């Protein structure tokens, strides 16, 4: 069977291949969970160990029991779009017209819709290196070209306005950023974000910003949406992608959203209608309960727990020579340099998995600029697991 040539531009997702190897080892006698054994500790997957809180689960049960499981509008439930608008107002001081919010089947669908609507064949889109691999693959799937621009620790592993200006070419259409970022957990300084938007605007391009970890910011300096730089109030060229997966702890519910210019709503709706009809109806009805005061209080408690985990893990890694050059200000990742122990992060992760029974992620997926010496550790796991993982790593590295 002849496969489509676009697959040639989609690299394997090595993070998931590595995860499968860790799961296979975890099932072996070497990782026996019985007394005296040493079960695998998974610090490799970016999924909160918290699940949807009680009000959300109850709302889902009620929706299913009442039969509210049929198709919704392709753009999502009007009540949910209104609730999201209220969340932007209360958390970020932003006035976002609910008509500009499009609910999607996860942030992945949001990124796919945005790229299909904006990227033409051979268009170039600038991304930082390192960055989340699927983001560049969404560009490739739309037959565009993801152009990775090296980003240093001094730049918080993020693009700067100067680098965007220098990298902009005749085929460049826009930028695709992430703030906070996977894999580094670092955000773009709000002033720098404003300068990037101005550079892109001067080139009549678009600024796409993956903000799925925005709710999990630990530093007031960085916890701001790029939509704050939409001076027109209509979102003419700044598009935000977000999700219910991370801050709202609804990973498997597959629910996300876009904030787009009003003129882009109809084209996005047309694509959504054809690609997947609508987001999950039960998930949307459940998500309405995310914005209840009781749920928000629980989410803020969880954010504080992630903050505490970061404050334990990063100093512990630094003390072992797994240097984290930039303190993550959001999300739940530490981007650590392992070159003091092994020049290849791929080999280092295999060694850690086999000897310490701790699964972490090599930098291979996330770009080409020095990523071979970095590993990503997720602290979306319990504090008890983090303490145990650190102790095992200390023993191994000693």
Is it the case that residue 212 has pLDDT exceeding 70? yes
Is it the case that residue 34 has pLDDT exceeding 70? no
CATH class of 5-51+295-397: alpha beta
Is it the case that residue 219 has pLDDT exceeding 60? yes
- Considering only 78-92, 232-246, 274-288, 351-365, which range has the smallest mean pLDDT? 232-246
The pLDDT of residue 24 is 81
Q: 5-14, 20-29, 290-299: which has the highest mean pLDDT?
A: 290-299
The pLDDT of residue 222 is 94
The pLDDT of residue 18 is 79
Is it the case that residue 61 has pLDDT exceeding 80? yes
Is it the case that residue 180 has pLDDT exceeding 80? yes
Percentage of residues in the chain with pLDDT exceeding 90?
A: 87
Q: Per residue in 105-133, pLDDT tens?
A: 999 999 999 999 999 999 999 999 999 99
Q: Per residue in 126-157, pLDDT tens?
A: 999 999 999 999 999 999 999 999 999 999 99
Confidence at 13, pLDDT banded by 50, 70, 90: confident
Q: Which residue has the higher pLDDT, 247 or 8?
A: 247
Percentage of residues in the chain with pLDDT exceeding 70?
A: 97
Question: How high does pLDDT run on average in the chain?
Answer: 94
Is it the case that residue 305 has pLDDT exceeding 70? yes
Residue 146 tokens, joined = 């993801």
The pLDDT of residue 235 is 57
Euclidean distance between CA atoms 97 and 222, whole angstroms:
24
Pick the CATH number of 54-292 from 3.40.640.10, 2.40.50.110, 2.130.10.10, 3.60.70.12: 3.40.640.10
Domain boundaries, the chain: 5-51+295-397, 54-292
pLDDT (average), residues 238-261: 97
Confidence at 207, pLDDT banded by 50, 70, 90: very high
Confidence at 33, pLDDT banded by 50, 70, 90: low
pLDDT (average), residues 47-64: 96
pLDDT (average), residues 312-316: 98
Is it the case that residue 312 has pLDDT exceeding 80? yes
Task: Supply the pTM of this predicted model.
Answer: 0.94
The pLDDT of residue 188 is 97
Q: Per residue in 268-280, pLDDT tens?
A: 999 999 999 999 9
Residue 387 tokens, joined = 């303490």
Is it the case that residue 4 has pLDDT exceeding 90? no
The pLDDT of residue 15 is 75
pLDDT (average), residues 70-88: 98
The pLDDT of residue 233 is 52
The pLDDT of residue 12 is 76
pLDDT (average), residues 175-196: 97
């Amino acid at each position: 069977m002849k496969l489509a040539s676009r697959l040639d531009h989609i690299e394997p997702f090595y993070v998931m291949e590595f995860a499968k190897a860790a799961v296979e080892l975890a099932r072996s006698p070497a990782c026996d969970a019985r007394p005296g054994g040493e079960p695998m500790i998974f610090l490799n997957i970016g999924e909160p160990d918290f699940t949807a809180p009680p009000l959300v689960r109850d709302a889902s049960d009620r929706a299913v029991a009442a039969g509210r499981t049929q198709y919704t509008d392709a753009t999502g439930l009007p009540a949910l779009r209104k609730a999201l608008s209220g969340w932007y107002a209360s958390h970020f001081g932003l006035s976002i017209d609910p008509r500009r919010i499009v609910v999607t089947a996860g942030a992945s669908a949001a990124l796919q819709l945005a790229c299909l609507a904006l990227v033409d064949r051979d268009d170039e889109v600038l991304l930082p290196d390192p960055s989340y691999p699927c983001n560049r693959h969404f560009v490739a799937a739309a037959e565009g070209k993801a152009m990775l621009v090296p980003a240093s620790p001094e730049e918080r592993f993020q693009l700067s306005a100067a680098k965007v200006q220098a990298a902009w070419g005749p085929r460049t259409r826009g930028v695709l950023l992430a703030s906070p970022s996977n894999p580094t957990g670092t955000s773009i300084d709000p002033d720098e974000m404003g300068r990037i938007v101005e550079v892109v605007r001067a080139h009549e391009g678009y600024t796409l910003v993956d903000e799925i970890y925005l709710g999990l910011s630990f530093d007031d300096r960085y916890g701001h949406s790029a939509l704050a730089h939409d001076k027109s109030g209509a979102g003419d060229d700044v598009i935000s992608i977000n999700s219910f997966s991370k801050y709202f702890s609804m990973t498997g519910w597959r629910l996300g959203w876009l904030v787009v210019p009003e003129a882009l709503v109809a084209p996005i709706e047309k694509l959504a209608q054809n690609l997947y009809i609508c987001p999950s109806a039960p998930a949307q009805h459940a998500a309405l309960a995310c914005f209840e005061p009781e749920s928000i209080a629980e989410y803020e408690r969880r954010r504080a727990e992630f903050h505490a985990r970061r404050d334990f893990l990063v100093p512990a890694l630094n003390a072992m020579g797994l240097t984290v050059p930039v303190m993550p200000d959001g999300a739940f990742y530490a981007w650590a340099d392992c070159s003091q122990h092994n020049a290849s992060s791929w080999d280092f992760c295999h060694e850690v998995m086999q000897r310490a029974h701790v699964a972490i992620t090599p930098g291979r997926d996330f770009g080409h600029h020095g990523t071979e010496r970095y590993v990503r550790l997720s602290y979306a796991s319990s504090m008890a697991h983090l303490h145990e993982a650190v102790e095992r790593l200390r023993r191994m590295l000693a």
